[in-house]
Chain A
Amino acid sequence: MDLFVAIFAGTVIAATPLVFAALGELVVEKSGVLNLGIEGMMLMGAAIAFGAVVAGYSMPVAILAGGLAGAATSLLFGVLALTFLTNQYAAGLALAIFGSGVSAFLGRGFGSAPIDALDRIHIPGLSDIPLVGPMLFRFDPMVYLALAMFVAISWFLYRTKSGLVLRTIGESPQTAHAIGYPVIKIRYLAVLFGGLMAGLGGAYLSVAYTPLWVENMTAGKGWIALALVVFATWRPQRVLLGAWLFGGMTILQLQGQAIGLAVPSELLSALPYLATIVVLVIISQNRQMLALHFPASLAKPFRPAG
């Protein structure tokens, strides 16, 4: 039973950086913008948050700094893709490479020593309930923030007018412009929000999950986040499920390595990536649902006519 609790808790924690990054990207893509640079934004968030802790700032300040670093990085993409209407694929790829390089440069002074990880909460009473306590009430605050963001984003996208406007801009910016909505401005806000979320995801990696700084420590999680959004057919619930699936496979393969399965560890490490993609491909077969949720103008530059 202890093993089960450990795997469950580990899954939720391992999924948290993906939940942040993928939900952020979901909002960006719903506005019709494709930002491929999640990896770069996550790395910037991870580096800045770690640096802030090393420099002696408090944990909340460091995490916020990480998020803002992600947002600042995304602004670069925004200027290229939304103001200068460059190709969004190229701009996003450039951002991924840029973030990885700059974060490596910034991280040179951090050393390789781990820091004290973000404290987990302890609610007297609740956290002490057998089984349920360790499974639900002993995480760090960022895990709960990620879940709160999931609820907030689902509600925003499907229950508020602003969310509806965002979705329709992703579908037909010309029409939204014709009705009188500021397409470029709303897309900027979405891109900045995506950057903030990716930055928070990165910060979680470096100050809570690992917690230390290593160059390119995201190890492709930015790309997995991107794949999650696509294969989740642009729906928040499936993004969350996909992130948990990835987290679960990560923990399971670590357990597998620990008990010494006779499988090369490289193959085991690849398992979460493979499994996530396979499962999401299977669940994204329904074309009708795909047509309804796919932002039709994804990655197409928009210039107001007239």
Chain B
Amino acid sequence: MTPRLELRNISKRYPGVVANDDISMAIAPGEIHAVLGENGAGKSTLMKIIYGAVQADSGEIVCDGNRIERHDPATSRALGIEMVYQHFALFESVSVVENIALSARMPFDLDALSRQVVELSERYGMPVDPRRIVHDLSVGERQRVEIVRCLLQRPKLLILDEPTSVLTPQAVEKLFETLRQLSAEGCSIVYISHKLDEVQALCDSATVLRGGRVTGTAEPRKTTSLELARMMVGANLPEMHIEPARPSPAPILEVKNLSADPPHAFGTALRDVSLSVHGGEIVGIAGVSGNGQAELIAHLSGELRHRHAEAIRLEGQPVGRLDAGERRRRGLAFVPEERLGRGAVPGHSLRDNAVLTAHRAGLVRGGMVDRGRAAAFADRVISRFKVKANGSGAAAQSLSGGNLQKFIVGREMELAPKVLLVSQPTWGVDVGASAFLRQTLVDLSRAGAAIIVVSEELDELFEICDRLLVICQGRLSSSLDRRKTDREEIGLLMTGGTESSTHKGSAGALHH
């Protein structure tokens, strides 16, 4: 059978790095093919080459037996190749349906298109309101829009880059059903993921990349996770090491009856949110994106200020009305969900990005940046957190997602914060770096810091958190002990089920 897509000896060099080195693979019609690899292994570059957003230096791409001569995204789309980017290619200021209309090959009729979007999104269990402005959507919601947009084109080859990291377990199952159905209809799927269990559940075959080269091919269903991980990392994965928590007697961060109007027209109102975090423990906040996480984080970090200073207390002191800078001065550190643009300035060097939050660590003297110390600080983060970067002079945007995340987390940890607020710590980060980041968070908490992790990945929360809370429609559930709850209970709370109906005793007991 002629492969739907065949790559022959693809190579791509960037200054100082070989992103893809002599890569060949073939994907049959209807095949679900996984591409596995660590960050910086060259997966994203390879996908961009398939899609035509980046041109290969050498090698050829053959689609349905025809060699693609001049390759660009328009060619790909004409051939039926669609891609869901890891960093979404959506326009912020226009509505969902307008975004979809831009890439739709059909007459410009927004009403008809809206109906199609609703129909398709309901059929595949991915609720999307076509009239909402993308600007106000959460990451998870944006991904649904991207996927629906691709499906609308009835693609012959669909490329998905880390698609499940923002979905609930139920939604992942729905997505897999969709993908299996698409595959049964003859659509080939290239599935990039670092979640080995998902690859094993979904994919027919896998190509493993490391350092820009193919290091192995496998049938995931007949290969163990350990073997796959070894092909990817080139060594055995570090094992998580978690000591029991010894919480401090008094909470370090306390939130009491925090209510807030939505900050903008499409935001979520926070309703009577209370939580407390002690030193030495990690508290996780689970929830489907868009249920008030962004608003809660903004209030905790100080990006949004609250009119009642007492609503938020840091070491007993009311801080609700203080701005983010003042809260940082008092020992709160924050790692936002968006690495580029909020966690780091894309075009600035790592050294300059270090100064942005670490200026209190002696990097600024008399109003002048001490460049030597700043560089030394950045270098220390780079070596301690094993960041793959071309020195402290490298621009933040030149790092892969996982490496930049390691740098940002490392930068905050070097400041020895009393409270660390982390949003989506390992979103789009590969296995090796995720394990490292999680271990780092655990170590920091055991050293006495209070840590709040907001994540949409339940596995992650169950792995590292001591207590879990679920946010749904701006309300926070009461605290659940990780050892006394399970995915099912959390999953029900995430979709609005009440505690009394799901788990009678334990939640109530903890509350009093």
Q: Could you list which residues of chain A lie within 8 angstroms of chain B, going by C-beta atoms?
A: 160-161, 164-165, 167-168, 171-172, 175-181, 288, 291-294, 296, 305-306
B73/A179 in contact, CB under 8 A: yes
Residue of A nearest to B98 (CB): A164
Residues A175 and B73 in contact in the complex (CB < 8 Å), given A168-B102, A292-B135, A306-B54: no
B72 within 8 A of A: yes
Q: Which residues does chain A contribute within 8 Å of B101, judged by CB atoms?
A: 161, 164
Pick the contact of B91: A168, A293, A305 (CB < 8 A): A168
Q: Beta-carbon contacts of B75-96 to A below 8 Å, as 1s and 0s? A: 0010000000100011111100
Pick the contact of A171: B53, B73, B91 (CB < 8 A): B91
Closest approach, in angstroms, between the C-beta of A15 and any C-beta of chain B?
A: 28
Q: Which residues does chain A contribute within 8 Å of B94, judged by CB atoms?
A: 164, 167-168, 171
B90/A180 in contact, CB under 8 A: no
Q: Which residues does chain A contribute within 8 Å of B77, judged by CB atoms?
A: 179-180
Residue of B nearest to A167 (CB): B94
Q: Which residues does chain A contribute within 8 Å of B440, judged by CB atoms?
A: none
B93/A292 in contact, CB under 8 A: yes
B93/A171 in contact, CB under 8 A: yes
B91/A180 in contact, CB under 8 A: no
B92/A171 in contact, CB under 8 A: yes
Residues A178 and B73 in contact in the complex (CB < 8 Å), given A168-B102, A306-B53, A306-B54: yes
Q: Which 6 A-B pairs have the closest CB atoms?
A: A180-B74, A161-B108, A306-B54, A168-B91, A180-B73, A175-B89
How far is it, in angstroms, between the C-alpha of A164 and the C-alpha of B134 when the chains are bound? 14
B221 within 8 A of A: no
B54/A288 in contact, CB under 8 A: no
How far is it, in angstroms, between the C-alpha of A293 and the C-alpha of B73 when the chains are bound? 27
Residues A296 and B93 in contact in the complex (CB < 8 Å), given A180-B73, A291-B135: yes
B294 within 8 A of A: no
Most buried by B among A176, A180, A294: A180
Q: Which residues does chain A contribute within 8 Å of B92, judged by CB atoms?
A: 171-172, 296
Mostly, the B contact residues are loop
Pick the contact of B53: A178, A288, A294 (CB < 8 A): A178
Residues A306 and B102 in contact in the complex (CB < 8 Å), given A179-B73, A291-B135: no
Q: Which residues does chain B contribute within 8 Å of A291, judged by CB atoms?
A: 93, 135
A179/B89 in contact, CB under 8 A: yes
Closest approach, in angstroms, between the C-beta of B91 and any C-beta of chain A?
A: 4
A179/B103 in contact, CB under 8 A: yes
Closest approach, in angstroms, between the C-beta of B71 and any C-beta of chain A?
A: 10
B478 within 8 A of A: no
How far is it, in angstroms, between the C-alpha of A6 and the C-alpha of B108 when the chains are bound? 44
Closest approach, in angstroms, between the C-beta of B79 and any C-beta of chain A?
A: 12
Residue of A nearest to B107 (CB): A161
How far is it, in angstroms, between the C-alpha of A234 and the C-alpha of B91 when the chains are bound? 17
How far is it, in angstroms, between the C-alpha of A293 and the C-alpha of B143 when the chains are bound? 23
Chain B positions 98-125 with a Cβ under 8 Å from a chain A Cβ? 98, 101-103, 108
Q: Which residues does chain B contribute within 8 Å of A171, judged by CB atoms?
A: 91-94
How far is it, in angstroms, between the C-alpha of A167 and the C-alpha of B91 when the chains are bound? 9
B55 within 8 A of A: yes
B102/A165 in contact, CB under 8 A: yes
B91/A172 in contact, CB under 8 A: yes
A178/B89 in contact, CB under 8 A: yes
How far is it, in angstroms, between the C-alpha of A124 and the C-alpha of B158 when the chains are bound? 64
Chain B positions 346-370 with a Cβ under 8 Å from a chain A Cβ? none
Apart from A164-B101, A164-B102, A178-B53: 17 A-B pairs, beta carbons within 8 A: A161-B102, A167-B91, A168-B91, A171-B94, A172-B91, A172-B92, A175-B90, A175-B91, A176-B102, A178-B73, A180-B72, A288-B264, A291-B93, A291-B135, A292-B133, A306-B53, A306-B55
B74/A305 in contact, CB under 8 A: no
How far is it, in angstroms, between the C-alpha of A296 and the C-alpha of B48 when the chains are bound? 24
B510 within 8 A of A: no
Closest approach, in angstroms, between the C-beta of B167 and any C-beta of chain A?
A: 23
Q: Which residues does chain B contribute within 8 Å of A177, judged by CB atoms?
A: 73
Q: Which residues does chain A contribute within 8 Å of B264, judged by CB atoms?
A: 288
How far is it, in angstroms, between the C-alpha of A161 and the C-alpha of B48 when the chains are bound? 26
Residue of B nearest to A306 (CB): B54
Q: Which residues does chain B contribute within 8 Å of A296, judged by CB atoms?
A: 92-93
A288/B265 in contact, CB under 8 A: yes
Q: Which residues does chain B contribute within 8 Å of A178, judged by CB atoms?
A: 53, 73, 85, 89
Chain B positions 254-269 with a Cβ under 8 Å from a chain A Cβ? 264-265
Chain B positions 433-474 with a Cβ under 8 Å from a chain A Cβ? none
Q: Which residues does chain B contribute within 8 Å of A180, judged by CB atoms?
A: 72-74, 77, 103
How far is it, in angstroms, between the C-alpha of A205 and the C-alpha of B303 when the chains are bound? 50
Residue of A nearest to B109 (CB): A161
How far is it, in angstroms, between the C-alpha of A305 and the C-alpha of B108 when the chains are bound? 28
Closest approach, in angstroms, between the C-beta of B17 and any C-beta of chain A?
A: 16
How far is it, in angstroms, between the C-alpha of A179 and the C-alpha of B53 when the chains are bound? 9
